[in-house]
Amino acid sequence: MRKKILIRRFDPETVDESFLQAFNVDLPQNATILDALIKIKEEQDGTISFRKSCRSAICGSCAVTVNGVAVLACNSQFKSISWVEGDVIIEPLGNLPVLKDLIVRFYPFWHEVEKTMPWLEPKEEIGEKENIVSAEDVAIIDESANCIMCGCCFGDCTIRETDDNFMGPAALAKAWRFVGDTRDAIKTERLELLSKACNAWDCTRCNLCIDRCPKGVRPLDQIVRIRQEAMKAGIKDNKGARHALAFQSDIKNHGKLNETTMPLKTVGIIRSLGMIPMALRMQMKGKVPFPIQKDIEGIKEVKKIYKIMEVDE
């Protein structure tokens, strides 16, 4: 098959801005994006730069963006890139500074991983005896342990795109790998760190990381696990936890969410004052509902559920 491929080129030593360069290349039916890059480099332009190593989706070095979707070049066959209609556009991974062509500087990614203390702090002194972990206990950290640090989730992360301080999905998934490890001694310390601003609670639950991960790590699922564990550990003095608790209390008290009082419960009185101009504009458009809500029919049953389940306030 003959394919027209556009590659984003950039060399800080020769150009000020990146540009797309077109190549036409003949490829076998089962060719991957990486096959195409190698062929173009060998036959048409030896100056094109990209990373690669194992060609087997194990090393995680060849992540690129193909028509807006971060993928591993080595395991993306042309026949499987269902979202591409027309020319194939290969660009560097997003949310990281470009060094040259398709090569990005990975330091910001590693910096976030490092913040999570990605090592085990053993509970006891390491002795001669093995420390057996049950299959059940391994299962809850199994997905997160599959991460190959390719950066696909990070490259397309919604919040990392708009906030350089957000930890990003890969680091948070790695954090869960140790929070969830029964042998670890500093679980609470980890959860306290992860509950701070720009960490676990800042994720907007867009699920792009689950979609992009080539290894089934499901980073968002691990982020939710961190949040659940943090709440169980009583770390609730932050906006994210207060927001989740507001849902719990609104459902109990009225059945439905109270959108008028939700900001107050989540961000507190002082910060809510800053929202008044916005609230007034919404009020003028008839968008702010009356703050005192009518209970749903059957609210007694709901309250009974809370009582039976002994839900703490």
Partner 1 sequence: MKYAYYPGCAAEAIMKEADETTRQVARILGIELIDMKNATCCGAGCLDEANLELSYVINARIFAIAESMGLNSIMTICSTCLQTMTKINQELQSDPELLERVNKVLRKTGTEYRGNVQMTHLLWVLVKDYGLDKVKKHVKRPLNMLNVAAFYGCHTLRPAEILGYEDPRNPKSLDLLIKALGGKTVDYRGKTRCCGFHTLLVNERASLKAGGKRLQEAKDKGADCMVTPCPLCDVSLDVYQSEAEKLYQKKTQLPVFNLSQLIALALGVDVSDLSFRKHLVSPKKIISAVIAAEG
List residues binding partner 1 (CB under 8 A). 68-69, 82-83, 85, 158-159, 161-163, 166, 197-198, 201-208, 210-211, 218, 224, 227-228, 231, 239-241, 243-248, 250-251, 255-257, 259-260, 262-263, 266-267, 278, 281-282, 285-289, 296-298, 301-302, 304-306, 308-309, 311
Smallest distance, Å, CB 128 to partner 1? 39
Q: Which is nearer to partner 1, 49 or 260 (CB)?
A: 260
The single-letter code of the amino acid at 68 is: G
User: Closest separation between CB of residue 160 and partner 1, Å?
Assistant: 9
CB of 132 to partner 1, least distance (A): 26
What is the closest distance, in whole angstroms, from the C-beta atom of residue 203 to partner 1 in the complex? Answer: 7
Question: Given the complex with partner 1, which of 116 and 266 has the nearer CB atom?
Answer: 266
Least CB distance from residue 6 to partner 1, whole Å? 15
Cβ nearer to partner 1, comparing 123 with 287: 287
Report the residue number, 21 or 158, with the smaller CB distance to partner 1. Answer: 158
Helix 239-254 × helix 299-308 angle, to 10°:
120
Residue with smaller CB distance to partner 1, 58 or 267: 267
| φ and ψ of 289, to 5 deg | -70, 160
Is the CB of 111 or the CB of 281 nearer to partner 1?
281
Compute the least distance from the CB of residue 140 to partner 1, in Å.
13
